[in-house]
Amino acid sequence: MSRADLIFIEMCKDILENGFSDEGAEVRPKWPDGTPAHTIKKFGVVNRYDLSAEFPILTLRPTNFEKAIDEILWIWQKKSNNIKDLNSHIWDAWADENGSIGKAYGYQLGIKHRYKEGEFDQVDRVLYDLKHNPYSRRIITNMYNHADLMEMNLYPCAYSMTFNVTGKKLNAILHQRSQDVLVANNWNVVQYAVLVHMFAQVSGLEAGELVHVIADAHIYDRHIPLVKELISREPYPAPKFVMNPDIRDFYAFRVSDFRLEGYVAGPQIKNIPVAV
């Protein structure tokens, strides 16, 4: 039985049983028919995943492993803010006529900053510190740049990573301001688990723990019956995560360098309504 499934089930149960409903309040998100999209939420959800024990992908339903990796490479490796560099359509609704999502996500990671050691963007600074100063307590990235928020087509949801080396293990905290639990929870967990594995391998380290901190973990009103059905399912064992062991350059990774062995999952939930 996958540990990621158990974490997801317990989180959803807690939200449904003990969460706060904003029913009746004025909310920003709307359903495609214009109806307000209300939620039930929990504040300050913290989930911990031991990446050395198993890969944290849901088996209750399939998570699109390849597309999740493609997006994380788009943000962290290509440092792109243009959907023309992305091999899926998940950002189409937020892009302008030129394909840009504004000064968001990858754009922020690619901005160079001055340090006493020279100029680095945020990703290259992480790589530098993991190589030259792995026990630093300052290995942090942040995409929530207040100066550029008005030029972002969507404010960053998963916005910050804090990396920390303990012995030979690379641990990380993913900070997320808001999350649609049904649509995005495991997608983000899979992405950042892969990212930790990538940084660990190119830095001569081992993947340790991923801690996912969600300020506002919510289930939309129209998702409640879908979530209840999902968490009633029987989980399968976690698959084996395999990454090309020969790659030592962070920028050399491709989607084809990652695979899952023995991934078995329940049926997909189709036609999930998405609030915008």
Q: Is 87 annotated as a binding residue?
A: no
Q: Which residue is listed with tokens 């690379």?
A: 170
Q: Is 180 annotated as a binding residue?
A: yes
Q: CB neighbours of 89 closer than 8 A, spacing ≥ 6?
A: 83
d(C-alpha 167, C-alpha 208), whole Å: 10
Q: Is 218 annotated as a binding residue?
A: yes
Q: Is 108 annotated as a binding residue?
A: no
Number of residues that make up the chain: 276
Q: Token pair for residue 170?
A: 């690379």
Cβ–Cβ < 8 Å for 22, 43: no
Q: Is 233 annotated as a binding residue?
A: no
Name the catalytic one among 83, 157, 161, 238: 157
Region class of 204: left (phi > 0), else alpha (psi between -120 and 50), else beta: left
The whole-angstrom distance between residue 266's C-alpha and the CA centroid of its chain comes to 21
Alpha helices (H) in the chain, listed in sequence order:
3-18, 65-76, 106-109, 122-132, 181-202, 224-230
157 is catalytic: yes
Q: Is 236 annotated as a binding residue?
A: no
Q: Is 179 annotated as a binding residue?
A: yes
Q: Is 138 annotated as a binding residue?
A: yes
Q: Is 177 annotated as a binding residue?
A: yes
Q: Is 219 annotated as a binding residue?
A: yes
C-alpha torsion 8→13→14→16, nearest 10? 120
Q: Is 178 annotated as a binding residue?
A: yes
Q: CB neighbours of 94 closer than 8 A, spacing ≥ 6?
A: 101, 153, 154
Residue type at 105? Y
Cβ–Cβ < 8 Å for 123, 143: no
Q: Is 220 annotated as a binding residue?
A: yes
Binding-site residue numbers for dUMP are 137-138, 177-180, 188, 218-220
Q: Catalytic residues, which ones? A: 157
Binding-site residue numbers are 64, 137-138, 177-180, 188, 218-220, 275
